[in-house]
């Protein structure tokens, strides 16, 4: 499998791999034939994001006047397409008085940050480092 991955990495554009991995969790690993890893990321990260939405978490807006909110927004968007879909469907407005609001935020933010790590890993594979 490593040889096949190395062959694909030689022909793959790392920027394109990074973009795909960001937009669809696990896509970068699936691209290189790492099916198990890709499948786990593809399922687990959106599920985690969905739990965050179900717990009334908020997808934060990019408000540069509030640096912490902007950082949370950056983390939220780290998951890629699921965040766009959630927003388009009207989810992620957050309910600050819900008991689970902060839990929801933790799930949303951490799912996005974990996907960023997954993107970096896919990037490393594309460059032949792994």
Partner 1 sequence: MHSHLLLLLLFSFFVSLIFAVLMRDDAREQLRFGGLLFGGFIASAIVLGWVMYVFPL
Residue 37 binds to partner 1 (criterion: CB under 8 A): yes
Rounded to whole angstroms, the Cα distance separating 62 from 67 reads 9
Residue 116 binds to partner 1 (criterion: CB under 8 A): no
Residue 55 binds to partner 1 (criterion: CB under 8 A): yes
* Cβ closest to partner 1, residue 4 vs residue 61: 4
For residue 126 the two structure tokens come to 């594309």
Which residue matches tokens 């791999």? 17
Among 9, 45, 86, 109, binds partner 1 (CB under 8 A): 45
Query: In terms of DSSP H, where are the helices of the chain?
Result: 2-11, 14-23, 27-31, 35-54, 67-76, 81-88, 101-126
Q: List contacts with partner 1 (CB under 8 A).
A: 36-37, 40-41, 44-45, 47-48, 51, 54-55, 99-100, 103, 106-107, 110-111, 114, 117-118, 121
């Amino acid at each position: 499998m490593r040889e096949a991955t190395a062959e694909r990495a030689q022909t793959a554009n790392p920027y394109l791999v990074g973009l795909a991995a960001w937009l669809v969790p696990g896509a970068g690993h699936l691209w290189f034939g790492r099916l198990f890893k890709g499948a786990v990321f593809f399922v687990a990260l959106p599920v985690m994001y969905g739990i965050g939405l179900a717990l009334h978490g908020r997808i934060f807006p990019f408000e540069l006047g509030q640096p912490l909110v902007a950082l949370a927004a950056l983390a939220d968007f780290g998951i890629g397409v699921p965040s766009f879909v959630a927003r388009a469907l009207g989810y992620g407005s957050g309910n600050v008085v819900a008991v689970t609001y902060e839990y929801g935020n933790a799930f949303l933010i951490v799912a996005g940050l974990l996907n960023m790590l997954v993107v970096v890993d896919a990037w490393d594979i594309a460059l032949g480092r792994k």
